Each structure stands twice: as structure tokens, then as C-alpha cells.
């Protein structure tokens, strides 16, 4: 669900709360990160969104710029978060065009379903490199600006590593590392005035991840959520606004779970476990 100018009338936030601020977003053309950016732009921020696909990234930037009169949004494509110099070049372009960086959202991620037997070493490495190394590289490249402006960082994490989730060993391992990275940087960078927090989305409706990762044959996920609905991208956007707002100036080193309480219920495989696991493990076509 995209946001438009009605967000200013229906949200709890003051308009122009982020006037004069610039946010740098990896994965900014993606479903969740784009809506996070929409909220920030609507509330006064300018933005640079970073992505691999140049056409998709530039198109998203053009759409974001239309949300607010005078908004400046830069789309920077052909950026690989696994390459720190690629990110550094995007930072340089952002500062050149927008003047500064105050907020960073490390949201670039990769995911797919695969059981261990069919998960190759290269595939595992690819997800860890995008999610974890990419997060490190993003903050590394943005660090001079974050230090200068006493900036704020949000890592986009997940709840998959809070318990064992079949077919998600690669992502769970990567996101556990993202949480650990955020916690360490919150302590190390805190004396410089920089805050670091994670947002861990749960089952968010209308997202590519939700449609791709929901196990087939399972009863509707929302019936298992304590709040009895799927999350929305706006729920994630509101958590983002809070963590970047002055209301969270004394909040760092936290993991803000936005999942309606679902992670307390446990493994999302439900009635499919363990039969679906056994069937995959018996397949002799294992990948290295």
C-alpha cells in the first residue's frame, strides 16, 4: 500500500518534522523501503534511493518526488551493496546533489525459499553478502556524514532467527548478523551521537516477500497473528518515522518488531511440519 498526501491528515506526525533532513535508502525501490521513504518525504525529508536496477530506481525516485512540492529525490541505480566502493560512489553523488545525509535505511536484501538439501553454498553466501555485508558497507560508506550530522540508522531485519524456520536458514543467519551488527554499532557509535536500531517486519501484506514466502497449503497467516490481521507497509513506515523522529533521540540498540505479535506464536510452517521437510531431505539431488 503506497502512501499519498492523505498520510499528512491521518498520521500522528507533524508535517515538516523532517524538513532539511536527507535520507539515504538502499533497496529504496522495494516494496517496504519505498513506503518508508514515502513517509519521510511526505514529512519534509529529501531522499536518495539506491538500487541495482537503474530504470526501476529512477522511476521510483520520480514518483517519490511528486509526493511533496519542492521535494528532492535522487535515484541512483547500478549500485551493488556488496561492493563498498559502489556504495561510496552513491554517497558522494547524494552529498553532491542533496548536500548531506542525516538518516540511513539499510534495506537491500535477498530472499527465496530453499531447504538445506537444495541450498547451495553460493546461494547461502549471496544472501549473507547482500543482507549482512551490504548493511556493513552501507554504514561504512555513510559514516563520515553520519558522524558529521549526528545521524540515525535503521537496519531492516526480520523475525526469522527468533526460532527455527525451515527453508530460511540463509536469511535467518544473515538477519541475525544484522541484529548483532546494529547492537555493536549502537554502542560503538553512540558516543559520536549516532543511533542505530533495527526494524523487524513480520507478515506484511501486499509485499513481494509475503507472496513468495508463504508456505502453500497453510491456513491464512492472519488467523495466527494475535492482532488478527496482516501488517501493512504503513505500519513499517510509522515505526521508521518514530525511530528517526526527535521522540526517539534516546533510543538506540533496539530491535523494533512490527509483526502484530506473530513471532510469539512460533514457527510459521504450522501443520506442514515435519512432512514437508522430510520429503525435501529425502531428495537425492543435493546442491553444493
Q: What is the CATH number of the domain that holds 56?
A: 3.40.50.720
Q: Is residue 287 part of a domain?
A: no
Q: Look up the domain containing 113 and give its range.
A: 7-281
- DSSP secondary structure, 156-220, as one string: E--SGGGS--TT-HHHHHHHHHHHHHHHHHHHHHGGGT-EEEEEEE-SBTT-HHHHHHSPTTPPP
Q: Is residue 288 part of a domain?
A: no
Closest CA to 215 of 170, 173, 175, 168: 168
Q: What is residue 165's predicted lDDT score, i.e. its pLDDT?
A: 86
Task: Please count the structural domains in the chain.
Answer: 1
pLDDT in tens, 243-285: 999 999 999 999 999 999 999 887 655 555 556 656 665 656 6
pLDDT in tens, 38-95: 999 999 999 999 999 999 999 999 999 999 999 999 999 999 999 999 999 999 999 9
Q: What is residue 230's predicted lDDT score, i.e. its pLDDT?
A: 92
Q: Is residue 32 part of a domain?
A: yes
H or E segment and range at residue 49 = strand 46-50
Share of the chain above pLDDT 90, in %: 73
- Give the lowest-confidence range in 31-40, 106-115, 137-146: 106-115
Task: Output b/e per residue, 94-121; b: 16+ Cβ within 10 A.
Answer: bbeebeebbbbbbbbbbbeebbeeebee
Q: What is residue 209's predicted lDDT score, i.e. its pLDDT?
A: 61
Q: Is residue 199 part of a domain?
A: yes
Q: What is residue 111's predicted lDDT score, i.e. its pLDDT?
A: 87
Q: Is residue 64 part of a domain?
A: yes
Q: What is the mean pLDDT of residues 12-35?
A: 94
Q: Is residue 1 part of a domain?
A: no
Q: What is residue 106's predicted lDDT score, i.e. its pLDDT?
A: 98
Instruction: Name the residues annotated as catalytic.
Output: 157, 175
Please tell me what DSSP assigns to residue 231. Answer: B
pLDDT in tens, 190-219: 999 999 999 999 989 877 666 655 656 667
Q: Is residue 38 part of a domain?
A: yes
Residues 142/22, Cβ–Cβ less than 8 Å:
no
Which pLDDT band holds residue 189 (cuts at 50, 70, 90)?
A: very high
pLDDT in tens, 92-120: 999 999 999 999 999 999 888 898 999 99
Closest CA to 100 of 46, 155, 139: 46
Beta bridge partners of 197: 154
Q: Is residue 83 part of a domain?
A: yes
Amino acid at each position: 500500500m503506497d502512501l499519498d498526501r492523505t498520510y499528512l491528515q491521518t498520521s500522528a506526525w507533524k508535517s515538516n518534522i523532517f524538513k532539511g533532513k536527507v535520507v539515504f535508502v538502499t533497496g529504496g525501490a522495494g516494496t517496504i523501503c519505498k513506503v518508508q521513504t514515502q513517509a519521510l518525504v511526505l514529512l519534509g525529508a529529501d531522499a536518495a534511493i539506491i538500487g541495482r536496477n537503474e530504470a526501476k530506481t529512477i522511476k521510483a525516485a520520480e514518483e517519490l518526488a511528486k509526493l511533496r512540492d519542492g521535494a528532492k529525490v535522487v535515484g541512483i541505480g547500478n549500485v551493488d551493496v556488496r561492493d563498498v566502493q559502489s556504495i561510496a560512489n552513491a554517497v558522494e553523488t547524494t552529498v553532491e546533489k542533496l548536500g548531506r545525509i542525516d538518516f540511513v535505511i539499510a534495506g537491500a536484501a535477498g530472499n527465496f525459499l530453499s531447504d538445506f538439501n537444495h541450498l547451495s553454498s553460493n546461494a547461502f553466501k549471496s544472501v549473507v553478502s547482500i543482507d549482512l555485508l551490504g548493511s556493513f558497507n552501507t554504514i561504512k560508506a555513510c559514516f563520515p556524514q553520519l558522524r558529521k550530522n549526528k545521524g540515525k540508522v535503521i537496519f531492516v531485519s526480520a523475525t526469522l532467527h527468533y526460532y527455527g524456520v525451515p527453508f530460511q536458514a540463509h536469511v535467518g543467519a544473515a538477519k541475525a548478523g544484522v541484529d548483532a551488527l546494529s547492537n555493536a554499532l549502537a554502542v560503538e557509535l553512540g558516543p559520536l551521537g549516532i543511533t542505530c536500531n533495527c526494524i523487524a517486519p513480520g507478515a506484511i501484506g501486499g509485499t513481494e516477500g509475503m507472496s513468495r514466502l508463504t508456505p502453500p497449503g497453510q491456513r491464512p497467516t492472519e488467523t495466527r497473528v494475535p492482532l488478527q490481521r496482516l501488517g501493512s507497509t504503513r505500519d513499517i513506515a510509522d515505526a521508521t518515522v518514530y525511530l528517526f523522529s526527535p521522540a526517539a533521540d534516546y533510543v538506540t540498540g533496539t530491535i523494533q518488531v512490527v509483526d502484530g505479535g506473530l513471532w510469539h506464536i512460533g514457527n510459521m510452517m504450522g501443520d506442514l511440519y515435519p512432512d514437508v521437510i522430510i520429503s525435501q531431505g529425502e531428495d537425492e539431488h543435493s546442491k553444493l
